[in-house]
Chains A and B, each alone.
Chain A
């Protein structure tokens, strides 16, 4: 490179950097928002149900029913509340002071002794279907545990047609933090890559500074590269920050190699920057650019990337749509790298999809950006 282009590039990069450092809104988007998201998703949002308020109605307290109730007392998932009658329990469920009811009738012990399988009544608030399913599973777990215990006491083994030996791989504790925090990285990178760049370029149009920039002898490539470099650095900074937080605060394991994580993140950041550039070449007001960036990149990264909602359980059409969302490929790689390891069969195809999307957006931006006002 001749000194001219290098000098111009240096000028743009330094200007861009000073603007980021001095503008509180850039700092907020680049550092404060990622921290906030990490805290919310690391501490606040958990897809595991704990401290479920379970109403226990025991009509005849005896050794059988009390030992069953003990299963709830000792479970980390339940915070049982003893209620005297099923009527009261039902009104508590209606008032939403309990999330579910377990009802042991008067003849519980007798039924168990005679038929081996005493009927218990279970009522669950199904408004939140996901939690209801979890509660159902936990109650059944306690129920089978209790049956096994009783059988052991009587010197028998519980006969059931299939012996279930459960193992959960990669996330044995089924901690949702372990897959939410890696997903957050995708959201953070989208924020910095797409939203922030779309905003700053639109701001140059709005304040009329783009006009003076275009009239200097700078070339289109120099403008684009000059903007790409600082925000790339900023995005990687956001990544390091999030990684450190994930490690120190939430103890999320990183089982894959770190260099691969950085390489894939750089690739995704490049795609996100391409989307941000593209948005700002089309929409030249900050307000519209921010809205479009939110709706077309940030929200899909949240909803359609498989970060919170499983893509497999989406309707076929929506599943098709997710293939257009870059964050989807990145989330897939991230969750693999964090929880499993360097699984090339997952990483390579997803990285290839990211590369294709990056080429598409940057190619489009390159074609559309002219040193003109029309």
Chain B
């Protein structure tokens, strides 16, 4: 019978798996997700979340889901660094999630992928940060519910700057100088993540440019941005930039382990950093690039969307309304109990005592003063195009003008597809 050869094969597979596991140790958890719900979850709503780094987040999301009486909700906790491609790929299949978290991007709306949530958001619209409402609105309809706002900026070790006699950098030039002075044989001056993609938008804004202008035309291709890219290249090759750290920029490890004096990261990591470093911690926005620039903070974050092509749109909407509109207790828990996030609901933000003093309050100030929210017209393909610019002309020695020209082509083609 075929079973015979099958069982041989199985034994071998099992052996391989066992040895692979032994060799991989704790790393084996990666990549095991097949994007499908469990076998018994046929009746449950499926939701996708990217893997948050903070302890307790996965349990929290599952706890909320369990508390919901209207339906079974199962959670796919997507590990790895390419949440968006896993999400996009699964949305095409029958195993597509009924609801998922993501950032507002207009191609999802143009392709009819996400459902109009105006009816559930409208009644409480005034209680939301209006910038968050605006970034989710297309033609008067609101397509997602913001769960958390995540300002991203620099964290630094006060003691290290003092010791090296360095002031908090006010310009990109000063950041380069500071990096040089702060670098010792053990500690690097600055960490921007291994691939630098997190600082692309902040750098564009800090140079006085923007991703797109009001008419949805490219606005990033300016002389100041080109200069900024040249400076970034200088920083990249200076030897003062931490590269190849085991954890990426979103993880506070590089700063807390003393690998770097300054790290680009997000508000979410603040509790862990404070716990590890106490008062030896300060923050500053991405410093201005060139004379016409202005310090910038990226107000990222995550929103809930409903898969309009799923067969249970109404049930999914009901769940989103129950949790992310009505249940303020859980919303507050999600924003403040694990990492720090700024609640997009004004009423919750106002009563959030944890964000009212000390460093968190400074973070909120940067968020309000220098923050740039998502532009819904700036899609994944355009983000990818600017990442290629940084890859080609910061990590590689390519000409920034040429790289930006190439980026223009991609962005314009995409804009044409989206807006005609």
Q: Do A and B come from one complex?
A: no
B residues neighboring A (CB under 8 Å): none
